[in-house]
Amino acid sequence: MKTTLLMFTVLLFSVKSFAVTKVENTIKRLNWNGIDVVYIEDNRFPTYDLLVYFADGALSDVKGQLGATKHAFNLLDAGTAKLSQKDILDQFEFLGTEFGVDVTHEYSTLSMSGLSKDLATSMTQTCDLLREANFPAPIIKQELDKERSELQSLVASPQALADRVFREVSLGNTPYSYPVTGKLHDLDLYTPEVLRAKVSYFLDKVKKRIYLTGPKSILSVEKILAEKCKFKGGPSDFVRSIAYKKQKRSKTEIVFIPVPDANQVQVQIGRFLNFDEIGDRRLDTLATEFLGGGFTSRLMREVRVKRGLTYSIGSYISSQKQYGRSGISTFTKNETINKLIEVINDAVEKIKKEGISQEDLERSRGAIVGAHPFKFESNRAFLAQLLYLDHIERPYAELFDFNQAVMKYTTTDVSKKIEDVFGTNSQIIFVLGDKSIEKELKKLSPKLGKMKVLDYKSFI
Amino acid sequence: MLQKKIGTRIISLAVLAATLSGCSHLPQSNKKPAPVHLNVKKVVLDNGLTVLIAPNSKLPIVSYYTLFDVGGRYEGPGTTGATHFLEHLMFKGAKKYGPGQFDNLIERNGGMTNAYTTNDATVYYQNIPSSFVETMIDLEVDRVQNLLLEPIGFESERQVIFEERKMRYENSPDGFIYLMMMKKVFEGTPYGQSVIGDVEDLKSLSRDQVMNFFKTYYAPDNAILAIAGDVDPDKLIPIIKEKYGAIPRSKGLMELKAKSDDPKNYEFKANFNTEYSYYATNPIPKFMMAFKGEKAGTRRAFILDVLAYELGNGGSSYLAQKYVRNQTPLLSDISLSSYNLRHSGVFYLSGELMDNVTIENAKKQIKLDIKNFCSQALDARTLQKTKNQIMSQAYQQMKTNAGMASTIMMNEKVYGDYSYGTKEMEIYNSVTESEVKKECLAIFVNSDSIFISTWDKYPKNLSASLSLETK
């Protein structure tokens, strides 16, 4: 055991040392026309990665336009007065440029990557889209019809359907529960005028930040951002922040979603996390690593290795700036649904009663510390880490001091975190599967909590 | 255990000093991207193990890939799924590192480990801190030399595989239609056996059968080890020689494989003028239209890759514009793929209907249109666009240690040359418009196809055992 601990200590210090000298020093902060820019020089390949951050997201969608932000960004390539959708897509694809958008409740991002010699061309096109996208009605109709079709097919993808429904159910009556994509009945609301107004709002009112990596030559994109995108920053730029009433769940509830002809049951167990429950993200990482973070996690051992009840199981605590959510996610065959839930519950209860051992703590700590450098390997992933820390208003030191911070946690910290977040008396136990399992599932009610049955269609 | 990659395209786009001419109407620079030098050290041990090491000291991390040249195609009747089953069992313990220790040691040191099985190969991979490389070597050597295959672990893993099978195929319309397409296209050949295994075979596979499979195929002269990351080849190679060098060569394996790999075994036997309908859980019909494809490595295989990209890659492609992105779309999604296996291949179109379109109408329309694809869709600009896309993807792939290790390993396996990526890019860039048109006509005008559709309105008895079908 001593040898093992010594090995961990050496590893921790060597990783920290590397991090400070090799990675942290490569980050440069610039300011372009009032916009903060984070740049990392990388000369290994003639390529670039670029992210544009907007400090608002789907929370900006008012009733009657829910989902509009996501669609405004998604449909940017629908057309401009000068270019058709085909022309726009063709231009990006000709250059091998990857163009993408992502919208969360709190913030939105636009991403681009490709060959650095083509950044100027691709950025100019992106600026044209941001400034001149006019969302031609026929294209919008066609894209939304396609989306309707995809949503109606969701029932055939139990895992994706479970993710979508569980998210809304577990976030309950919070400002974050409605899907950023909107629902089927919202699709009629996205007119060209609504979408254009959304993009203009993000361009002209919302705080932006740029994240960029590649050879130095790509810094010439500054001129295009100023002249073509007309990006300009100032102290009055809007940053989304909301006040909401804290949620307190005092008992566990079983939610069953019947779907036709499923020979496998999807299970998710979790809940909403209030703003004051998400402060220590490094402890969250350590606790979820121990509980369901890999093949040697507690849940994987109990559920898969010992009993063969599933192919995979994992746990997470994810958070944005003002809220978070927790979850245990897995699946099993119809016949073993109750057994699976009982095994998970027992595992969590055992942690509550007996805590975790020092050896367990060292294993989990070693896992997240050793894996830490992988967060820097892909340029895009590294940029995303920095973007996230900026968004939640935490210093980059949290990334580079990660290893020392993780060392301070004790076995009690970890078991308490698991009890607080995954405690069996305050969860939504979400089950999506064939109607035939309902009767069996009900047998868990007396022990675990009331069960309600919901129609999946009201969530799409 | 773990992830299984069934049906991944084997194009290993790699490193390039290739030309990129600009015939776009866009004002992009005409400068060529700078050439990339591949820094790889290769040694072949006395026992036949091929070792590739690509040093990269940017971060103190390493990707460690091991390929065994055995895939689902070597399974005989009644033993489908054995290769994949064995892949799972390789994580269940060996003599020195017993049950649970393999995962435990890797994960507690910050690594991750996984594996996948295809028709042609089994690949084990780890992403680990560089300080753990020597232990990783010890772990890999132990399980290849002294696998336990304990009965308890064997049975619980069988149940895990049934759940994996449901997840990937029975409850996944996309997985299910792909599985049925492969079975039908390669019927009567070694590629017609499902890699995940048929249910009855999985139920009856014995420990002895799997152990026999292990002893036959898991030999150093049937493997490639590729390591990319923060390592010094000069220091690591002696350690690899010492540890792996003790594993004996195979006996009779090359003769066995030569017999199994007889090209005659891989000649198409299916009737390519047939249609099949299967019940699946998708409420909106899906379809696949499959043509005879090409084995990996030939010039025709490269041309078919280019053809698939030209016609179907991206929202601006001909097929997307014709069927998905127009005023009255027939389909909500379409794609075209060329899957080049080691000894054969399949070229297939797949799509999902819009909800107001019937499968009969869609099929009729596509079959009517198909003869015009080649004259309407292919030109010099789309060819250049395809070449640009391939190059851009190749760069992206090489940016991580895992991408590098995987690429050099696959190139070594398929072409016998880890640096074949450079040559590969030269071949892609040398493909001409007339070559693509010729192959396009050969596929879409002069060949028959197998048409498969799935829908939840089809009678359930059409698919219950994954083996019933209507013609």
Q: What is the rounded distance in angstroms from the CA atom of residue B157 to the CA atom of residue A2?
A: 34
Half-sphere exposure for B48 (CA within 13 Å, toward CB): 15
Nearest to B284 among A121, A149, A371 (CB): A149
- The CA–CA distances, whole Å, from A427 to A8, A171, B465 equal 35, 11, 38
Q: What is the ipTM of this complex?
A: 0.80
Whether chain B has a CB inside 8 Å of the CB on A460: the answer is: no
**Alpha-carbon span B61 to B130, nearest angstrom:** 5
Looking at the structure, do residues A219 and A351 belong to the same domain, yes or no? no
For A149, which of B24, B332, B391 is closest by C-beta distance?
B332
To the nearest 10 degrees (0 to 180), the angle between helices A358-371 and B101-108 is: 60
Claim to verify: residue A34 and residue A144 sit in the same structural domain: yes
Q: Is A285 a member of any domain?
A: yes
Do A207 and A266 fall within a single domain?
Answer: no
Q: Which of A98, A149, A307 sits opposite B354 (nearest CB)?
A: A149
Nearest to B167 among A95, A115, A311 (CB): A311
State the pLDDT at residue A23: 72
A90 touches B at CB < 8 Å: yes
What's the structural domain count of chain A? Answer: 2
Are A278 and A206 members of one domain? no
Q: Which of residues 293-312 of B touch A (CB under 8 A)?
A: none
Question: What is the bridge-based pairing of β-strands B345-353 and B274-279?
Answer: unpaired
Domain ranges of chain B: 41-262, 265-462
A18–chain B Cβ distance below 8 A for any pair: yes
Q: Inspect the interface and report whether the beta carbons of B59 and A376 lie closer than 8 Å.
A: yes
Residue B180 has pLDDT above 60, yes or no: yes
- Chain A residues 33-62 within an 8 A CB cutoff of chain B: 44-47
Domain C-terminal end among A192, A227, A262: A227
**β partners of residue B291:** B347
Question: Is A85 within 8 Å of B325 when comparing Cβ atoms?
Answer: yes
Q: What CATH number is given for B41-262 in this structure?
A: 3.30.830.10
Q: Is B458 on the interface with A (CB under 8 A)?
A: no
Dist. CA B471–CA B465, nearest whole Å: 16
A404: in domain: yes
Largest CA distance in chain A: 70
Same domain for A217 and A330, yes or no, is: no
User: What stretches in chain A show pLDDT beneath 70?
Assistant: 1-22
User: Which residues of A are less than 8 Å from B280 in CB distance?
Assistant: 156
End-to-end CA, chain B: 36
Q: Judge whether B36 is closer than 8 Å to chain A, CB to CB.
A: yes
Residue of A146, A156, A159 with shortest CB distance to B332: A146
Interchain contact, B281 vs A370, CB within 8 Å: no
**In 3D, which of A102, A92, A83, A96 has the Cα closest to residue A123?**
A92
Tell me whether residue A222 is in a domain: yes
Contact: B456, A260; criterion CB under 8 Å: yes
- Is B412 in contact with B52 (CB distance < 8 Å)? yes
Residue B23 has pLDDT above 80, yes or no: no
- Rounded-to-5 percentages of helix, strand, coil across chain A: 55, 20, 25
Give me chain B's average pLDDT, please. Answer: 88
Q: Is the pLDDT of residue B144 over 80?
A: yes
Residue B314 DSSP symbol: S
What is the domain extent for residue A448?
253-459
Of the partner residues B131, B163, B355, the one whose CB lies closest to the CB of residue A333: B163
The residue among A6, A90, A402 with the most chain B CBs within 10 A of its CB, best to mutate, is A90
Q: Letter for the amino acid at A244?
A: Y
Q: Does one domain contain both A39 and A83?
A: yes
Residues 6 or more apart whose Cβ sits within 8 Å of residue B188: B269, B270
Q: Identify the CATH homologous superfamily for domain B265-462.
A: Metalloenzyme, LuxS/M16 peptidase-like (3.30.830.10)
For the segment B119-128, the average pLDDT, to the nearest whole number, is: 97
Q: What is the pLDDT of residues B218-260, one digit of tens each?
A: 999 999 999 999 999 999 999 999 999 999 999 999 999 999 8
Q: What is the pLDDT of residue B76?
A: 82
Residue A3 lies in a domain: no
- Is A12 inside a domain boundary? no
Q: From CA B151, how far away is CA B157, in angstroms rounded?
A: 10
Mutate to test the interface with B, among A43, A95, A365 (most CBs of B within 10 A): A95
Distance CA A318, CA A171 (A): 13
CB proximity A194 to B under 8 Å:
no
Residues B137, B239 contacting (CB under 8 angstroms): yes
Q: Is the pLDDT of residue B17 over 50?
A: no
In whole angstroms, what is the distance from residue A55 CA to residue A235 CA?
13
Together in a domain, A384 and A432: yes
Select from B60, B109, B388 the Cβ nearest to the Cβ of A373. Answer: B60
What one-character DSSP code corresponds to residue B187?
T
CB pairs under 8 A between A and B: 223
The answer to whether the Cβ–Cβ distance between B395 and A118 falls below 8 Å is: no
Minimal CA separation from B356 to chain A, in Å: 9
Residue showing tokens 């984070």: A38
Domain of A320, CATH number, reads 3.30.830.10
Beta bridge partners of A265: A332
pLDDT for position B33: 52
Per-residue pLDDT, B412 = 96
Shortest CA distance to A411 belongs to which of A370, A366, A371, A351?
A351
Task: Looking at the structure, tell me whether residues A455 and A365 fall in a common domain.
Answer: yes
Please judge whether B108 and A295 are an interchain contact, meaning their C-beta atoms are less than 8 angstroms apart: no
Q: What is the DSSP string of A55-66?
A: S--GGGPPTT-T
| DSSP secondary structure code for residue B31 in this structure | P
In a domain, A238, yes or no: no
Question: Structure tokens of B436?
Answer: 């693509």
In a domain, A132, yes or no: yes
Q: Which pairs from A187-191 meet CB under 8 Å and 24+ separation?
A: A187/A67, A187/A144, A187/A147, A187/A148, A189/A64, A189/A65, A189/A66, A189/A67, A189/A68, A190/A65, A190/A67, A190/A68, A190/A71, A190/A72, A190/A75, A190/A140, A190/A144, A191/A137, A191/A140
Q: Are residues A194 and A111 in the same domain?
A: yes
**Residue range B69-99, pLDDT digits in tens:** 999 999 988 899 999 999 999 999 999 999 9
The confidence score (pLDDT) of residue A262 equals 85
Q: What is the CA radius of gyration of chain A?
A: 24
Q: pLDDT digits over B272-320, tens only? A: 999 999 999 899 999 999 999 999 999 999 999 999 999 999 999 999 9
Question: Do the Cβ atoms of A405 and A395 come closer than 8 Å?
Answer: no
* Residues A346 and A413 reside in one and the same domain: yes
Closest Cα in chain A to B59: A373
On whether both A86 and A197 belong to a single domain, the answer is yes
How much is the pLDDT for B113? 94
Domain assignment of residue A2, yes or no: no
Check CB contact under 8 Å for B104 and A363.
Answer: yes
- Quick one: pLDDT at residue A19? 46
B287 contacts chain A (CB < 8 A)? no
CB contact B314 to A (< 8 Å): yes
Of the pLDDT bands very low, low, confident and very high (cuts 50, 70, 90), residue B355 is confident
pLDDT at B462: 56
Residues in B touching A153 (Cβ below 8 Å): 282-284, 352
Contacts of B33 in chain A (CB under 8 A): 46, 115, 117
Structure tokens at B280: 């699946």
C-alpha to C-alpha distances, A249 to A278, A427, B68, B348, nearest whole angstrom: 16, 8, 51, 51
Q: Note whether A453 and A323 are same-domain residues.
A: yes
Taking CB atoms and an 8 Å cutoff, what residues of chain A touch B389?
93, 96
Percent pLDDT > 90 in chain B is: 76
Interface of B with A in 97-156 (CB under 8 A): 100, 103-104, 107-113, 127-129, 131-132, 155-156
Q: What band does B339 get if pLDDT is binned at 50, 70 and 90?
A: very high
Distance from CA of B320 to the nearest CA of A (A): 10
B248 at interface of A, judged by CB pairs closer than 8 A: no
Which residues of chain B neighbour A367 with C-beta distances below 8 Å? 107-110
| % helix, strand, coil for chain B, step of 5 | 45, 15, 35
Q: What's at B306, amino acid-wise?
A: V
Query: Given CB atoms, is A383 within the 8 Å cutoff of chain B?
Result: no
